[in-house]
Every structure is written in C-alpha cells, then in structure tokens.
C-alpha cells in the first residue's frame, strides 16, 4: 500500500512539473547575476542551446528577473550568438521593464519581477548543433542595480 501511495505522489508531482512549462518550450535556462543584486558589465552570462532540427522555426526570448527599485524603463542587453561553426552575430535589445505609467512589467513575486521578452519571431537556425549565447548589459550605469537573473528561452513557433 505504501508503494502505491508513493507511485501516486510521484506521478502527481511529475504531472505538475511537466505542466509548468508552456507547450512548445524547448529550452529554458536562467543564470544568477550577483548575490549583491547587481549586474556588472564584465559579468557576461553564457548559455549553450542545442538545436537538432533546422526545419523548425523558433521564437527566442530573453528573460530578466529584477527587484523593486530597478530605476530604468528598459534593460539594454547585448546578445552575441555563436553558431556551431563559429559564426558570430551581435544584436542589441531593449527589454521593456516599465510601462508608460512607470509600473513594472512581468510576473510579480513579492518584490521580485520575472519578465520574458521575445527578441526574434520565427527564427530558423541554418545549422544543427550547439549555439552559444553570451549576454551582457549595455546600460550606462555600472553596476546595474536591482538586476538578479538573465536567461534564454526558446519556444517552437506556431
């Protein structure tokens, strides 16, 4: 009887956890920036994204976690994409953090905000393999206070 209860609990937990990611989400990873709730320009975060199918189209996003007190309307980031063959492409993005009224954008959790920012729609990767993404902040202030995590999300396009 104990084994059956354990199986039911584990099955329920697995169903719950698998439901936490939206359908079509193929990659998600977040990296902490600093225990001091700041992001230094020299603190570049790197992500390894495996791409197996070059026939699919994807919607890449950058996620940004920040705390109450973040003082800017946007977070400017520079994203360097390195293909499996070594070709580099650099893009600059503005992640909108506050709306026109000055209110924070994203999913709130007490004094922490999680935001996802679509940076390209229907991207088709030219080659299979592991793509490297390096993300750094491109703001005039260094360190960038109240920044907590940066991440990469890859969803299949509809």
Q: How far apart are CA 88 and CA 58, in angstroms?
A: 19
Number of folded domains that form the chain: 1
Which range marks the domain in which residue 77 is found? Answer: 25-156
Average pLDDT of the residues in 35-54: 95
Q: Does 58 reside within a domain?
A: yes
Q: Please tell me the pTM assigned to this model.
A: 0.83
Average pLDDT of the residues in 36-42: 94
pLDDT at 43 over 80: yes
pLDDT of residue 19: 42
pLDDT > 70: percent of the chain: 86
Q: How far apart are CA 64 and CA 137, in angstroms?
A: 11
Q: Are 49 and 130 in contact (CB under 8 A)?
A: yes
Q: What is the DSSP letter of 43?
A: -
Domain at 60, CATH number: 2.60.120
Confidence of residue 40 (pLDDT cuts 50, 70, 90): very high
Q: How far apart are CA 32 and CA 79, in angstroms?
A: 17
- Dihedrals φ, ψ of 21, to 5°? -105, 135
- Dihedrals φ, ψ of 125, to 5°? -80, 135
């Amino acid at each position: 009887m104990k084994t059956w209860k354990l199986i039911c609990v584990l099955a329920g937990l697995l169903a719950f956890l698998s439901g936490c990611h939206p359908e079509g989400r193929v990659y998600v990873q977040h990296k902490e920036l600093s225990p001091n709730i700041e992001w230094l320009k020299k603190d570049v975060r790197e992500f390894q994204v495996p791409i197996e199918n070059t026939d699919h189209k994807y919607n890449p996003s950058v996620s940004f976690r920040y705390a109450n007190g973040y003082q800017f309307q946007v977070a400017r980031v520079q994203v360097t994409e390195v293909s499996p063959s070594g070709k580099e492409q650099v893009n600059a993005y503005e992640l909108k953090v506050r709306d026109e009224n000055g209110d924070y954008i994203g999913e709130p959790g007490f004094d922490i905000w999680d935001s996802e920012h679509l940076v390209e729609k229907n991207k088709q990767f030219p080659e299979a393999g592991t793509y490297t993404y390096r993300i750094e902040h491109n703001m005039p202030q260094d360190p960038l206070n109240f920044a907590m995590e940066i991440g990469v999300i890859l969803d299949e396009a509809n």
